[in-house]
Structure 1
Amino acid sequence: MTTDPQAGTNVQEIAAGIFRINTPVPLPDGQLFSFNQYLVVDDEPLLFHSGPRQLFPLVSQAIASVMPLERLRYVGLSHVEADECGALNLFLAAAPQAVPLCGSLAGMLSIADMADRPPRTLADREDLVLGSHTVRWFDTPHLPHGWECGLMMDTQTRTFFCGDLFTQPGNSEKALVDTDILGPSEAFRRQMDYYAHAPQTAAMLAGLAQQAPRTLACMHGSAWQGDGASLLGKLSEALSAAR
C-alpha cells in the first residue's frame, strides 16, 4: 500500500504482524536509496529504526495507515545514527507511552542523554515480550559498525531485524524477495565499505546464524526470505575474503 504517492512511501507486511515501511530517497549522484522502518503490531507495538528526522511525516503517516500512531510502545534502534534514531524524539512526542529501546551500551553512552524519555535497555540475548511476538536482542559491537551496535529477532516468525547488514542500493520496490541480495549488497559495500571488520565479526555472524532466521528485515533494500543461517554464513565468508 502506497501511503504517499509523491514520495513513494509504502507499507507492506513481510511476516505475520510485521510491516516494512519503505521510502526511496535520491542520493547526491541521482541514484535511489531506500530507508526502511519495521513496525511490529502487537499489544505493545514496536518500531525498529525511527528513520531520519526529515522522514518523520512520511513514516508517521505510514504507521497511521496500519494502527494509531499514539499506540507505539517502543522505538528501537541498532546504533546511534540518523537513519536509526534521528526522529526518535518526534515519535516519543507523538506516542505518550513510547520509550526508546536499545542495547545497554547505547543506553549508557548516548540514548539516556539524547532521548526525551529514559530508554528500555536490553542485555545480550535478553527477550522482550510484546504480546504474541517476543523479540530477542543481540549485542553486535562493530557489526557492521558502532561500538554500541545491536540487532534483534522476533522469535515467533524468525524475522531478524538485521539493520545495515545486506544493504542494497536502489528503491527496493519489492518488499520481500527470495532472490540474491548478497551480490548487490557486496557490490555496494565495495564502493564505500561501511563495515568495521572487527576480529570477532565471524564469530558474531556464526552466533546469529544459529538463531535460524527465516526472514531478514534489511534497513536498506528488500527484505529477504529463505535460509537465513546459510546467507549469514556466506556474508561471513565474503567479509573474511575482503580483509
Structure 2
Amino acid sequence: MDEIASGIYRISTPVPPEVMPGGFSFNQYLVVDEQPLLYHTGPRKLFGAVADAINRVIPVSELAYIGFSHVEADECGSLNDFLQAAPRAVPLCGEIAAMVSVNDIALRPARSMADGEVLGLGSHRVRWIATPHLPHGWECGMLFEESTATLLCGDLFTQPGHIHPPVTDKDILEPSEAFRLQMDYFAHSPETRKHLSRLSSLRPTTLACMHGSAWRGDGGALLMTLADRLGAR
C-alpha cells in the first residue's frame, strides 16, 4: 500500500514466478475522500488481502464506490464481496457496462457514468472517459482524477514481473510493449488512436497502471508514443 498521488493509494499484490510464469502483479487504487472510491477489485481470491490493505487506511465499510474499467476478473472479480463489506457502496462504471453486465451481476444497481461525466468525491473529481475496445472490451473506459492529474488507465502499459516500485519515472513503454507482443490483448480498433489522443489531451502526470508500477511524467506524450507504436503495427 503506497500513496502515489495526494489521497490516492496503490495496493499491489505480487504473484511470484513459481505461481505465474515470469511473475505478475495486480494493482487496485483507493481514492480517500468524503466518498471513498476503490478502482479495480482484484480477482475474488485476492479479496481478503485487498480488504486488509484498505483497512490500514480507512475501514472497508466506508467505501462509497467500487469502480472499474470493464468486466473482467481482475477488474471486478470481488465486486460483490466488497458490496457486502461496504453496505452503502455501489458499482461505478460506464453506461454500456451497466447495461450489458453490471446491473445483472452486481448485488446493487450501478452508478453508471456517461462519456465525459464528472463525479465529485469531495476534494477529488473523477471524469469518465469512454474508450470502447481500448485496450479491449466494448464497455471499456478510464477514470481521470482532475485534482491530481491521475489517469486510472487500467490495462494500458501492463508491465510483466512481480517486483516493481510503487511509482517510477523510468521507461514503462518498452517492457509493456514486449509483454503485449507475446499475446496481444489489444483490440486494435480503428478508433484506437482517437481514444489515445483524447486521453493525451487530459495531460495526465501520473498513470495508475493496473499491472506494474504507476508512472509519473508527461503522460500525454507517453500516450501518443503508444498510439504511434500501435499504428505502426
So what's the TM-score if we normalise by structure 2?
0.98
1:120-167 CA-partner distances (Å, limit 9, x unpaired): 000001000000000000000000000000101100000000000000
Kindly state the Cα deviation for residue 29 of structure 1 after the two structures are TM-superposed. Answer: 5.2
CA RMSD of aligned residues (A): 0.9
Query: Aligned partners of 2:150, 2:216: CA distance in 1, in Å?
Result: 9
Aligned to 1:22: 12
Query: Match for residue 36 of structure 1?
Result: 27
* Number of the residue aligned with 1:214: 205
Alignment match, 1:99: 90
Name the aligned partner's letter for residue 222 of structure 1: S
1:186 aligned onto 2:184? no
Partner of 2:36: 45
Determine the structure 2 residue equivalent to 1:3. Answer: none
2:188 equivalent among 188, 192, 197 = 197
* Distance across 2 between alignment mates of 1:241 and 1:34: 28
Q: Quote the residue 1:128 is aligned against.
A: 119
Pair 1:109-2:100 in alignment: yes
Partner of 1:86: 77
**Unmatched segments (≥5 aa) in structure 1:** 1-10
Specify whether residues 175 and 29 from structure 1 end up closer, same or farther in structure 2 by C-alpha distance, changes over 3 A only.
closer
SS at match of 1:141: coil
Q: Which residue of 2 aligns with 1:138?
A: 129
Unaligned runs of 5+ in 2: none
Instruction: After TM superposition, list the pairs within 5 Å mapping 1:169-184 onto structure 2.
Output: 169-184=160-175
Question: Which amino acid is 1:14 matched to?
Answer: I
Mapped to 2, the partners of 1:118 and 1:108 lie a distance apart of 10
Aligned match for 1:61, one of 46, 52, 57: 52
TM-score by length of 1: 0.94
Distance in 2, matches of 1:173 and 1:227, equals: 20
Give secondary structure in 2 for the equivalent of 1:153: strand
Give 1:7's aligned residue. Answer: none
The corresponding residue for 1:75 is 66
Q: Distance in 2 between matches of 1:17 and 1:170?
A: 26
Query: In the alignment, residue 56 of structure 1 is paired with which amino acid?
Result: F
CA distance in 2: counterparts of 1:206 and 1:31, whole angstroms:
32
The 3-state SS of whatever aligns with 2:232 is helix
Cα distance in 2, alignment partners of residues 22 and 180 from structure 1: 19
* Matched residue count: 232
State the distance in 2 between where 1:77 and 1:48 align: 5
Offset at residue 32 of structure 1 (A): 1.1
Q: Which residue type is aligned with residue 24 of structure 1? A: P
Looking at structure 2, the residues matched to 215 and 161 of structure 1 have their Cα atoms a distance apart, in angstroms, of 9
| Cα deviation, residue 30, structure 1 | 3.2
